[in-house]
């Protein structure tokens, strides 16, 4: 009994280890106030701590082992240098996986400068490794303020003697900043590659208003991105993010997932497999029907808000969970967001004098009401998986390879191939990205015979699906509307959505 008591006392005295090396720095000095140089004497970067470079390099090397397609592309194309002369400015999550992409672009001939698209998702040690390498100046650190966020983007763009001619964006903030501050830069920019639903929505708005100055490639709606990154990635990372931050047990918990797109489908599948009781909210009758046929109960948020243990948003919209919903939640309800932007949960409405904020651990806050009720808010409403945990490297290999091919395509396209509009990645490229990942599984594709290919009207080597093929019918209609050559598609879209 005395031994057990001693063990219990000892365990309680052991400090909790940080979830990642990124969180372990106690230095509160803003990187903007530091003068740092790498081992080569170069100071064209702004990161948390250059001394973490060795740790970051090891993480990048691990990521390379799980990114076979990107490494294969680097090996096959580095002799040709298809991005020679390209000056790529990027704004994405800065992680070990992104570092592999950035170093691949450099190997293919591009010059890169990079900022983070999320103030919490940067892995400081990886940013240090990139700064030490010197191939791609990085301006990012975990825990940036809003002012820091825009300052970092500006440092990437506003450089004497260097002007970007390609944009790789995740969320549209970089594109927005250049439009707002440096519109003349678009005279030399050849194209934009955008990977998030939020950023793509912004591009379509610009196109509709006639303000899109350059061709843009919508990577988000490529099949490899939609099905693999959005669905399979979130199916694994939602559990990782929740478990790391709250240690919650999922069995028997009641969860409402707002949105049943690919991200929502992944979240629901994972939670259901863990024994959770899952509700879904949706505005789209097609996605709603899919949720019902997958065995989930479709509800309005206010019908279940008092009883659920976890609320997850993944719609890409704004004000999905508002103060009225937050007021009605049960004590200790966990609230988080799996969408790109921090607009889905009305966090601003919680910053009022009558509510108390209490930091529990990194990216975990208690918001306490006057009567003692509290909710557990994760990452202040920002993207949960990349803010609080990590995502599967293999899935990001698919996304990163798609991004690299989109940059190569736009940069090398002859004048006139692409107009000032939003385009989808050609289906042949989608299939090529998928094929590069099959050897990992020792997978063997069946080949069509000449007779079979003729019967289907296909080339034996693909593409096997038409360019408008998508997993979500609503997206097909959207694509048809944007690129419509015949008025029938516009009429179809209008009829369908006006008659629901």
Whether the ω angle into residue 323 lies within 30 degrees of 0, i.e. cis, is: no
Is 170 marked as binding a ligand?
Answer: yes
User: How far is residue 339's CA from residue 52's CA, in Å, rounded to a whole number?
Assistant: 30
Instruction: Indicate the angle between helix axes 146-157 and 173-181, nearest 10 degrees.
Output: 70
Give the C-alpha separation, 228 to 221, whole Å.
11
Q: Using alpha carbons, select from 292, 286, 323, 287 the residue that is nearest to residue 305.
A: 323
Residue 307 CA, chain-centre distance (Å), reads 30
**266 is an annotated ligand-binding site residue:** yes
**Residue 263 assigned ligand-binding role:** yes
Token pair for 250: 């999922």
Q: State yes or no: 380 annotated in a binding site.
A: no
27 is in an annotated binding site: no
Q: Is 373 marked as binding a ligand?
A: no
Cβ atoms of 138 and 45 within 8 Å: the answer is yes
Helix (H/G/I), strand (E/B), else coil: 369: coil
- β-bridge partners, 111: 87
The DSSP code for 224 is I
Residue 262 labelled as part of a binding site: yes
The H or E element containing residue 116 is strand 111-116
Q: How far apart are the C-alpha atoms of 367 and 350, rounded to whole Å?
A: 8
Six token digits for residue 52: 């973490």
Name 33's Cβ contacts closer than 8 Å, sequence gap at least 6: none
265 marked among binding-site residues: yes
Is there a binding annotation on residue 299?
Answer: no
Q: Is 95 annotated as a binding residue?
A: yes
Work out the angle at residue 173's Cα, subtended by the Cα atoms of residues 183 and 187, and round it to the nearest 5 degrees.
Answer: 25
> Between β-strands 310-313 and 422-424, what pairing exists: parallel, antiparallel or unpaired?
unpaired
Q: Is 229 annotated as a binding residue?
A: yes
Planar angle of CA 445, 78, 162, nearest 5 degrees: 130
> Which residues are annotated binding-site positions?
95, 170, 195, 225, 229, 261-266, 282, 385
> Which residues are annotated binding-site positions for NAD(+)?
261-266, 282, 385
> Which residues are annotated binding-site positions for substrate?
95, 170, 195, 225, 229
């Amino acid at each position: 009994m005395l031994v057990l008591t001693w063990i219990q006392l000892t365990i309680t005295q052991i400090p909790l280890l940080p979830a990642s090396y990124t969180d372990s720095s106690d230095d509160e000095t803003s990187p903007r106030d530091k003068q740092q140089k790498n081992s080569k004497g170069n100071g064209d970067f702004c990161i948390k701590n250059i001394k973490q470079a060795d740790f970051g390099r090891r993480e990048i090397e691990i990521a390379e082992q799980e990114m076979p397609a990107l490494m294969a592309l680097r090996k096959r194309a580095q002799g040709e240098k298809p991005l020679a002369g390209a000056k790529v400015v990027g704004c994405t999550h800065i992680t070990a996986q992104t570092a592999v992409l950035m170093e691949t672009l450099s190997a293919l001939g591009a010059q890169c400068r990079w900022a983070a698209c999320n103030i919490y998702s940067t892995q400081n040690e990886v940013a240090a490794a990139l700064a030490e390498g010197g191939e791609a100046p990085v301006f990012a650190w975990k825990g940036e303020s809003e002012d820091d966020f825009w300052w970092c983007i500006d440092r990437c763009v506003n450089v004497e003697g260097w002007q970007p001619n390609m944009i790789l964006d995740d969320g549209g903030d970089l594109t927005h900043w250049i439009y707002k501050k440096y519109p003349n830069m678009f005279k030399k920019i050849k194209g934009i590659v955008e990977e998030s639903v939020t950023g793509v929505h912004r591009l379509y708005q610009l196109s509709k208003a006639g303000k899109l100055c350059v061709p843009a490639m919508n990577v988000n709606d490529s099949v490899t991105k939609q099905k693999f990154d959005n669905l399979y990635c979130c199916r694994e990372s939602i559990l990782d993010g929740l478990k790391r931050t709250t240690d919650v047990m999922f069995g028997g918990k009641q969860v409402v997932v707002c949105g049943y797109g690919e991200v929502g489908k992944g979240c629901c599948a994972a939670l259901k497999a863990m024994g959770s009781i899952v509700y879904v909210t949706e505005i789209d009758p097609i996605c709603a029907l899919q949720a019902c046929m997958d065995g989930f109960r479709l509800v309005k948020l206010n019908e279940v808000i008092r009883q659920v243990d976890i609320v997850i948003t993944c719609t890409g919209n704004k004000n999905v969970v508002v103060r009225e919903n937050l007021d009605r939640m049960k004590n200790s309800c966990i609230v988080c967001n799996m969408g790109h932007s921090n607009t889905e949960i009305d966090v601003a409405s919680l910053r009022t004098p009558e509510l108390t904020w209490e930091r529990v651990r990194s990216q975990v806050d208690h918001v306490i009401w006057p009567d003692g009720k509290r909710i557990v808010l994760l990452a202040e409403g920002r993207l949960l998986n990349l803010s609080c945990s990590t995502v599967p490297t293999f899935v990001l290999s698919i996304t990163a390879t798609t991004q690299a091919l989109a940059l190569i395509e736009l940069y090398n396209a002859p004048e006139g191939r692409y107009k000032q509009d939003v385009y989808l990645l050609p289906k042949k490229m989608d299939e090529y990205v998928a094929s590069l990942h099959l050897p990992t599984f020792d997978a063997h594709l069946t080949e069509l015979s000449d007779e079979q290919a003729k019967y289907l009207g296909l080339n034996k080597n693909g593409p096997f699906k038409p360019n408008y093929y998508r997993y979500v019918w609503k997206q097909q209609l959207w694509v048809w509307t944007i690129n419509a050559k015949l008025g029938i598609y516009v009429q179809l879209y209008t009829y369908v959505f006006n008659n629901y």
